[in-house]
Amino acid sequence: CIRDRPNIAWLVVWSSLGLVLALTVQVRRVDERRPLAWGFVLVLLATPFWVPTSWPHYFVYLPFVQLFVIAKAVEERDAPSWLRGLVGLLCGVSVLLSSVPVFQLMGGKEVYGASGALFVSNALLLIASVAWLFARLKKAPLVESEELESGAVK
């Protein structure tokens, strides 16, 4: 258990935070119009991995993030079809797990909250977002550090 090894837990927390921050910095190469939105998406989706509790109200952002990621997959027609399909599948399962019908099928808030359905929904959305960004980063032009320092990059 990760709680038995606090040093490993902190290593996981800080390394995942570093990964999210590094990806957030690189987002500008993928989406010049909405780099701040992608930064918020990544931080929101990564937060449940850093917080030791996962109360259902912590996931209030899920519908907005689901809509944002699905909209990116739909609006960018030049993305590979496998990538759009993967993002669509992961987001679809995420929407299903965080839906009211699944909540009712599970029998109420205690069972639903304890099942981890919202955490899994969040994790699927994080995987979809990171997969989308990494695939888009592979085709995005590299930004030279001098351009970043001079402010030449939009």
Residues 62-117: tens digit of each pLDDT = 999 999 999 988 887 788 888 889 999 999 999 999 999 999 999 888 898 888 89
Three-class DSSP category at 153? coil
Rounded Cα distance between 96 and 84, Å, is 18
pTM tops 0.85: no
Average pLDDT over the chain reads 79
Note whether 83 and 135 are within 8 A (CB).
yes
Cβ contacts of 30 within 8 Å, gap of 6 or more: 38, 133, 136, 137, 140
Residue 19 has pLDDT above 90, yes or no: no
Residue 121 has pLDDT above 90, yes or no: yes
Task: Output the CA torsion sign for 71, 74, 78, 81.
Answer: positive
Q: What is the pLDDT of residue 148?
A: 47
